[in-house]
Homo-oligomer: A and B are copies of this chain.
């Protein structure tokens, strides 16, 4: 399996933003040093849920402080970007990292983020589609390209620099709908599966993905899925749960309030990636190294070869996260890499 570190840089009440950034960057560099395969950053706006707003910039900074990890967005919220700016930013980060960028893209779900940019959340799917169309246009064009669309129109744009990886960094789409999975299967894009879901839900998602691959004439071995999982290790299960459950529930509760906030009874089109009805025990990797290895084996059996670990939840202290990472690297990572 491939193992990533998934980070959103939350900003709990009473904490300092600069401290939170410094700790997150230290954790990301530690992941690189410990032999993790990737670091993934979310994109969020205007709240304590995550203060990484310019995800590709933070990845470009990490490119200079890490040596081998792949650097991914999980996800860039395409409807909130101008696609030409996004093409430029992705290519710049790709140049600065020597081709280590993975581009996870999604539609967004927090009403406050859309309102904060003056964008109607009801249009997010159409905007996602058009932004992706623009990206594919400029990535495939040999010279200047023009586009006249519903949301974006421009003439003779040839975004520079060009990506280091040609024709573009690998794409990963946050999706579990039949249509989205069919697109990923047809284009050979990866699939990002959300954290917070029970394994039963994940199994259903992988079944739909296998169907989509079959419809595209491919076998299930072509699946490329990266699953996010809240993760915390300690010497015993009891200690791991005692340390992580409170901070994780705090994180989930805040995320759910953001999803609801400001909807005032209207249909927002926003859907949380967190399935809060899931049995907590089957939706996280909290425990001793042995428990985590069993959890990863169960994930691997679903045909999933890559897991990104969400380790900094709520107010969980930096030192506990670093200890959890160390324990993972020592006891679990060598086993996971052989699964």
Contacts and interface: CB of A to CB of B under 8 A. Distances in A.
A51 B160 contact: yes
A144 B157 CA distance: 34
A66 to B, nearest CB: 10
A95 B92 CA distance: 19
Interface string A75-94: 00000001011001100110
- Copies of the protein in its oligomer: 2
A45 interface: yes
B118 A153 contact: yes
Interface in A152-203: 152-162, 164
Interface residues of A, number: 50
A90 to B, nearest CB: 9
Interface string A29-71: 0000000000000001111000111101110111111000000
Interface stretch (A109-117, A286-294, A297-305, A308-316): A109-117
Contacts of A162: 17
A21 interface: yes
Contact of A161 (B25, B51, B88, B152): B51
A95 B17 contact: yes
Nearest to A116: B157
A135 interface: no
Contact of A45 (B17, B46, B96, B159): B159
Interface string A210-252: 0000000000000000000000000000000000000000000
Interface of A: 11, 17-18, 21, 25, 44-47, 51-54, 56-58, 60-65, 82, 84-85, 88-89, 92-93, 95-96, 112, 115-118, 144, 152-162, 164, 262
10 contacts: A11-B160, A17-B95, A17-B162, A44-B160, A64-B65, A85-B85, A116-B158, A117-B154, A118-B153, A118-B154
